Structure 1
Amino acid sequence: MELRTASPAELKTVYETFLRSSFPPAELKPLRAMMDMYNDGCYDPLVLVDGEEIMGACFLWLGVPGWALLDYLCVSPTRRSGGYGAKILQLMRQAYAGWTIIGEAEDPAFSPDPAMAERRLGFYTRNNTLIAAYDSEAFGVRYKTLYWSDNPVDEAELALQHRFIYESSFGEEKYAKYVRIPCPAGAKPMPQIPWDQ
């Protein structure tokens, strides 16, 4: 098995067959946005392959060198519960050794399915993630902020780089309207809307 950058055709296949069935519309970027970011060099869709079969994928949204956001992690519906998600994270960290990788997991307190959100957080904590002291929000979905790093991380810098990844792609106006990093404690969630607004 190897983790490598997907071809455009593989990115489309993973989007249609894995992501659409795994993420609600409020959490799923449009494929055309991913393709634009991929073509601009700020998106690295990595696929776990065994021969010709795609077992799963993780998509990294790249910031300044040394910083990235784990945008999506998914495993083929036929390969779930086989340890492939953990394998993808392990290989992702090897491929991006020395980088700080930020993650987001839906906050169970605001999730329509709190039990599922708790299971996802449990999966990430079993796979060596750290949970930041601040939460984030994008398009009305509240997230716990996670990260992996080989070195100590100042959380003010973490929030700055996290915000930069979104703002550099969306622009200041769209960022201000739909994203909060960090999300103020006690803030009422914004309405959930699709990513392509």
Structure 2
Amino acid sequence: MELRIPSVEQLRTIYDRDLKEAFPTAELKPLRNIEKSWAEGWYKPYCLFDGDNIVGEAFLWLGHPGWALLDYLCVSSIRRNGGVGASILEKLREREAGTVIFGESEAPEDAPDPEMARRRLGFYARCGLRTAGYDTEMFGVHYKTLYLAGGPVDDAALMEEHRFVYENTFSADKYHKYVRIPFDPKAAPGPKVPWQQ
């Protein structure tokens, strides 16, 4: 299996086939936004190919050189629970050697399905992702911050790069209203709205 960038047509196919099926509408960026970010050089939509078939995806939202946010990790429904997700992360680590890849996974204590959130965090830990020393809140959802790197990464540096990705994408008003890096457990939760709103 090989991790590579798809054609625009392949991206559109797997967006409809895999991402729409795997992610709630509120968490899924419109395809036009992904295509625009990709065209502008801020996005890498990696796909795992098994021959001619795409069996999974790992989309990176690029920040400063050497930093990227794992925006979506998805395995095609017919290939789940067979090690494809772990394979994608291992190949991503090889393809993006030298890049700190960070991301968010729902915090079990505030998740609608706490057990699923715990299992997801366990999967990432088994695949070598570390848990950062801060959480985030995006559009009213509390997340643990995870990262994939060759060794420990300073939380302050990670937080700065994490903020940069969102500040570089959203208007200042939208960023301040819906993005909290770090998450403040004492603050009232932010409004839960689809990110594209």
Partner of 2:96: 96
SS at match of 2:181: strand
Partner of 1:108: 108
Between 145-154 and 46-55, report the one with greater CA deviation: 145-154
8 A Cα contact 1:26 1:141, kept in partner: no
Which runs of structure 2 are paired with 1:1-197 in the superposition (5 Å)? 1-197=1-197
Amino acid at match of 1:9: E
Amino acid at match of 2:21: S
* Offset of residue 45 of structure 1: 0.3
8 A Cα contact 1:26 1:139, kept in partner: no
TM-score (norm 2): 0.97
Q: Provide runs of 4+ in structure 1 moved above 4 Å.
A: none
CA distance in 2: counterparts of 1:92 and 1:134, whole angstroms = 24
SS at match of 1:169: coil
Between 127-136 and 180-189, report the one with greater CA deviation: 180-189
* Offset of residue 24 of structure 1: 1.2
Structure 1 unpaired stretches of 5+: none
Aligned residues: 197
CA distance in 2: counterparts of 1:2 and 1:94, whole angstroms = 11
* Offset of residue 123 of structure 1: 0.5
CA distance in 1: counterparts of 2:88 and 2:185, whole angstroms = 32
CA distance in 1: counterparts of 2:71 and 2:196, whole angstroms = 16
CA distance in 1: counterparts of 2:43 and 2:33, whole angstroms = 10
SS at match of 1:38: helix
Amino acid at match of 2:66: G
Between 96-105 and 19-28, report the one with greater CA deviation: 19-28
1:114-136: per-residue Cα shift (whole Å, max 9, x none)?
11111111100111111011111
CA distance in 2: counterparts of 1:20 and 1:189, whole angstroms = 26
Amino acid at match of 1:92: L
Percent identical pairs in the alignment equals 55
CA distance in 2: counterparts of 1:62 and 1:192, whole angstroms = 25
1:8-62: per-residue Cα shift (whole Å, max 9, x none)?
1121111111111111122111111111111111000000001111010000000
8 A Cα contact 2:106 2:141, kept in partner: yes
Amino acid at match of 2:4: R
Between 167-176 and 73-82, report the one with greater CA deviation: 167-176
TM-score (norm 1): 0.97
Between 104-113 and 67-76, report the one with greater CA deviation: 104-113
